[in-house]
């Protein structure tokens, strides 16, 4: 189908699309909360029935947590197979008091639908599903379409990967599509060409077997809180680089073209400070802010906890001190090796008389970097060019979507990540929303892209 | 009264003494917590009634915080006036989960009473009060006794000093006594000849206006938790000295005799590790461990709080990070100047893009150093010689009892500090306790000392 045909179909059916989208959003499918397990199951069943109604053969695949929804519709034998990925689970609605409309009663205000999941990922996913439906109804879907919708994306639970690994035949595809990403800050349509990998650990420094009186002992007892600060401070050099020996070894640098395209959408520091509260001034100064998150790894501390944290003062030497550490990784870095390097570095900094324990080590998956010269990227770019007057942006994203790093390996195909999310959608926050216009763009993109394959 | 008489009185009445002591301990008089304000007031009233019952004229002196309990009983005109100081407030009971018995339900196990405040200061204070009661009941108290019991010792709140400063006539005394100190590690009876001063502050590093996604932003956003660690780590040099410029200026060194007496009771490192869990290996290596706490100042971190502290991982860049800092000071250091020096040092270490706020600055008073050649020190030493086969120890204590640094100035008399606390009492920690034997020694010492004046 061409753009005009898809646009007129959208105009004709948008009322029903929104109505069904609202139905989808009414399931409080909060995966992190035990009390919503039934809601997740109901939501999965609803999706399954919906896809069966479009002519897909469907399967509910059980996991240790929420079930996977799988649907398949065979196309012509020599046409490409596309695996479309999405997730039906959502973030918790807390803090509920800050919502202006009920989080699970989707409300349309000034062309935006407000609800938990309105964008992430129910809205983006449903726009794509409605495009697939439209192609089917118009006999315009020629390839084989496989749809995989999981219910544990928001938990960080990687159990689902074990199941996927056993379903390699089922999931085999030439192309993996997903609509779970956003656009650059200018609002230009965006192809996400990279994601970082992630690894994390909990660092515990301990010494005294109970909190000690800081007067009686201060000046001769090694203080775990000070020691923790010392070893955390040692992770970075004054120039902003990670100071762990070997951390940058083997990193696959971006090509000149990748750097050029990344920097074509630089971070506007005024806009950046207005949405985050801070200027993007940290890290490796020889790289631009978009390069630092797109092509360079980073180590962050996500939390600190030791001793007394209340009002006033409690003059103790804490028995222990804890830090949560996460590393974002890029192609060429092995998560397991990085965790070992960091642990070894920390151990070397430990002052005499104290103990260091590294626990809760976790590997969230490798980094992903797409291939700029792939024909599918060219098609996506051409389609996006027709949908906007702004030139298509190429984004190397700092965040991690571990399943999207693994899925191309499992399916044996290339991943093409295009989404229409924006910072103002407030995902993972109160008053999440997605506009009808964003939904329409997602619909048109998916319809056009699949028509051109 | 002599030792034998006091001993038999203790034997006859110890059951009642313990019962009343338990009653005193049941008040959760945690001064740092707003929700315990009523409990502090109730505890003060209970003490007032108790002292009135012993024949004291009593007064509740209001302060901006918890009231002061004051009691006076006139003696013969030419006998010395003693001002006895104590505090009825206690440290918070956190972390409650580590207590083996309820912190405010005093429980007697194997000759030790377990409760918050069991030693510090309710136990030590009450042993002295019971000695004074015994002298009164036996018509053996000849001098004038003034008793001052405050409710803000554990807060570091020095408001009470303003009130005391206005009550100089009321508080006039030849001698200030207090039982809020401990013995050296050998268990030898101990006269505390020195206390350190204290100053504290809360350090808050902030940047992002909300927690940021560590993937999207990690590597370009200055991380408040890492920045806090960096500035805390900068407070000490690798050689263990405080690295704040000017921190050691003007310190009054100990005399040769003071050093000799302090080192006569060296810290046994095996014993030390057995009671604290750590060896005394930190700090200035050119001083012995007893000199480090007795004659040298120190900076400690009492708590850290930032971002996520729960199980597993939450990959955020925290909006802010907080540390609690306290400094222990020695004669020659001015607390206000030290706070300024530290604040200036911290400010210089702050990475670009972040803000530093120093709040809750508090000055807990100057250091105290007693006079070795005073006759009252001789009496105390003689009495202690009768209570133990071990030679009396002279201790320059690392802890601070700010009011005891001021009170001799206000009362116009010398301070004699003898207490029977021991490291195994776990003060300021879960499972605080005090033994009946320690209580008995405090009782006997107070009775004998007052009888000899």
Top-tier CATH class for B199-260+282-361: alpha beta
pLDDT at A251 over 90: yes
Asked if residue B130 has a cis previous peptide bond (ω within 30° of 0), the answer is no
pLDDT at B156 over 80: no
ipTM of the complex: 0.90
What band does A227 get if pLDDT is binned at 50, 70 and 90? very high
Looking at residue B401, what is its pLDDT?
82
Nearest Cα to Cα of residue A241 among A209, A305, A284, A177:
A284
Longest alpha-carbon distance in chain A: 82
What's the CA gap between A221 and A244, in Å, rounded? 28
Pairing mode, strands B320-329 and B298-307: antiparallel
What band does A183 get if pLDDT is binned at 50, 70 and 90? very high
Higher pLDDT, A78 or A436: A436
User: Hunting for tokens 């990670």 — which residue is that?
Assistant: A242
CB contact under 8 A, B301 and A281: no
Looking at residue B400, what is its pLDDT?
86
C-alpha gyration radius of chain B: 23
pLDDT at B157 over 80: no
What band does A113 get if pLDDT is binned at 50, 70 and 90? very high
Topology of the domain comprising A197-260+280-363: Alpha-Beta Plaits (3.30.70)
At residue A421, the 3 state secondary structure works out as strand
Looking at residue A429, what is its pLDDT?
86
Q: Is A296 on the interface with B (CB under 8 A)?
A: yes
What band does A289 get if pLDDT is binned at 50, 70 and 90? very high
Q: Name the residues of A annotated as catalytic.
A: 89, 153
Looking at residue B283, what is its pLDDT?
97
Domain positions in chain A:
3-195+368-452, 197-260+280-363
Looking at residue B313, what is its pLDDT?
84
At residue A148, the 3 state secondary structure works out as strand
Distance between B111 CA and the closest CA of chain A, angstroms = 22
CB contact under 8 A, A300 and B214: yes
Looking at residue B162, what is its pLDDT?
87
Q: Is A97 on the interface with B (CB under 8 A)?
A: no
Which residues touch B415 (CB under 8 Å, ≥6 apart)? Answer: B175, B176, B177, B178, B368, B370, B404, B407, B408
What band does B435 get if pLDDT is binned at 50, 70 and 90? very high
Looking at residue B402, what is its pLDDT?
80
> Taking CA A334 as the corner, what is the angle to CA A331 and CA A340, rounded to the nearest 5 degrees?
145
% chain B with pLDDT above 90: 89
- The predicted model scores a pTM of 0.86
Burial of A60-78, coded b for 16+ CB within 10 Å and e otherwise, reads: ebebebbbbbbbbbeeeee
Nearest Cα to Cα of residue A432 among A204, A61, A106:
A106
Looking at residue A365, what is its pLDDT?
80
Looking at residue A401, what is its pLDDT?
86
CB contact under 8 A, A308 and B324: yes
Q: Name the residues of B annotated as catalytic.
A: 89, 153
What's the CA gap between B326 and A305, in Å, rounded? 17
CB contact under 8 A, A326 and B429: no
Span of A285-299, A312-326, B94-108, B157-171 with lowest mean pLDDT: B157-171
Looking at residue B35, what is its pLDDT?
93
What band does B390 get if pLDDT is binned at 50, 70 and 90? very high
User: Hunting for tokens 């009390």 — which residue is that?
Assistant: A35
| Chain B residue at shortest CA distance from A423 | B216
CB distance B221 to A284 below 8 Å: no
B226-238 pLDDT, tens digit per residue, is 999 999 999 999 9
Q: Tell me what the mean pLDDT of segment A398-424 comes to.
A: 93
- Which residues of A, range 325-384, sit inside 8 Å of B by Cβ? 326, 328, 351-354, 360, 362
Q: Tell me what the mean pLDDT of segment B398-420 comes to.
A: 91
Looking at residue B312, what is its pLDDT?
82
Q: Is A280 on the interface with B (CB under 8 A)?
A: yes
Q: Is B36 on the interface with A (CB under 8 A)?
A: no
| Chain A residue at shortest CA distance from B34 | A311
* Length, in residues, of chain B: 453
Architecture field, domain A3-195+368-452? 3-Layer(aba) Sandwich (3.40)
- Which residues of B, range 142-161, sit inside 8 Å of A by Cβ? 155-157
CB contact under 8 A, B221 and A282: yes
pLDDT at B259 over 80: yes
Can you say how many angstroms the Cα of residue A417 is from the centroid of all Cα atoms in its chain? 11
Looking at residue A423, what is its pLDDT?
85
Span of A109-113, B11-15, B367-371 with lowest mean pLDDT: B367-371
CA distances from B13 to A120, B17, B125, B140, B413 (A): 73, 6, 17, 17, 33
Q: Tell me what the mean pLDDT of segment B3-19 comes to.
A: 98
pLDDT at A157 over 80: no
Span of A308-312, A384-388, A431-435, B89-93 with lowest mean pLDDT: A308-312
B119-144 pLDDT, tens digit per residue, is 999 999 999 999 999 999 999 999 99
| Chain B residue at shortest CA distance from A218 | B298
**A&B contacts, CB < 8 Å:** 331
Looking at residue B298, what is its pLDDT?
98
Looking at residue A156, what is its pLDDT?
72
**DSSP annotation string for A338-374:** HHHHHHHHHHHHPPTT-EEEEEEEEE----EE--TT-
Handedness of CA B217, B221, B224, B229 (dihedral sign): positive
% chain B with pLDDT above 70: 100
Architecture field, domain B3-195+367-452? 3-Layer(aba) Sandwich (3.40)
What band does B430 get if pLDDT is binned at 50, 70 and 90? very high
Q: Tell me what the mean pLDDT of segment A304-324 comes to.
A: 94
Looking at residue A110, what is its pLDDT?
97
Looking at residue A158, what is its pLDDT?
76
Looking at residue A95, what is its pLDDT?
84
pLDDT at B158 over 80: no
């Amino acid at each position: 189908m061409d753009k005009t045909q898809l646009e007129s179909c959208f105009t004709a059916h948008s009322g029903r699309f929104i109505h069904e989208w609202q139905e989808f959003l009414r399931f409080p499918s909060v995966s992190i909360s035990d009390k919503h397990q039934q809601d997740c199951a109901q939501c999965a069943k609803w999706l399954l029935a919906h896809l069966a109604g479009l002519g897909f053969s469907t399967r509910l695949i059980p996991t240790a947590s929420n079930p996977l929804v799988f649907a398949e519709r065979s196309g012509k034998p020599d046409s490409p197979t596309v695996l479309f990925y999405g997730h039906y689970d959502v973030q918790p609605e807390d803090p509920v008091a800050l919502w202006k409309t009920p989080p699970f009663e989707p409300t349309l205000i000034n062309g935006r639908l407000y609800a938990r999941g309105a964008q992430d990922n129910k809205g983006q996913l449903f726009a794509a599903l409605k495009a697939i439906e439209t192609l089917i109804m118009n006999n315009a879907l020629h390839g084989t379409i496989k749809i995989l919708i999981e219910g544990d994306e928001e938990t960080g639970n990687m159990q689902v990967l074990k199941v996927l690994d056993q379903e390699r035949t089922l999931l085999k595809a030439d192309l993996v599509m997903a609509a779970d990403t956003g656009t650059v800050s200018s609002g230009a349509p965006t192809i996400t060409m990279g994601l970082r990998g992630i690894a994390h650990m909990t660092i515990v420094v301990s010494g005294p077997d109970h909190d000690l009186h800081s007067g009686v002992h201060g000046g001769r007892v090694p203080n775990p809180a000070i020691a923790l600060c010392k070893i955390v401070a040692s992770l970075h050099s004054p120039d902003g680089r990670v100071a762990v020996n070997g951390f940058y070894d083997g990193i696959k640098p971006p090509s000149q073209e990748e750097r050029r395209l990344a920097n074509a959408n630089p971070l506007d520091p005024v806009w950046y400070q207005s949405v985050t509260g801070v200027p993007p001034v940290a890290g490796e100064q020889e790289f631009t802010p978009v390069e630092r998150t797109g092509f360079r790894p980073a180590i962050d501390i996500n939390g600190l906890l030791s001793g007394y944290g209340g009002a006033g003062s409690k003059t103790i030497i804490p028995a222990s001190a804890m830090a949560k550490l996460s590393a974002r990784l890029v192609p060429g870095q092995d998560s397991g090796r990085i965790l070992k390097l960091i642990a070894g570095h920390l151990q070397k900094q430990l002052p005499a008389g104290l103990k260091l324990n590294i626990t809760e080590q976790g590997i969230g998956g490798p980094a992903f970097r797409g291939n700029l010269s792939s024909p599918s990227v060219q098609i996506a770019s051409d389609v996006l060019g027709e949908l906007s007057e702004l030139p298509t942006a190429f984004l190397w994203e700092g965040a991690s979507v571990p399943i999207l790093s693994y899925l191309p390996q499992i399916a044996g195909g290339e991943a093409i990540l295009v989404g229409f999310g924006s910072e103002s959608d407030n995902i993972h926050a109160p008053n999440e929303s997605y506009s009808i216009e964003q939904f329409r763009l997602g619909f048109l993109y998916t319809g056009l892209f699949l028509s051109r394959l």
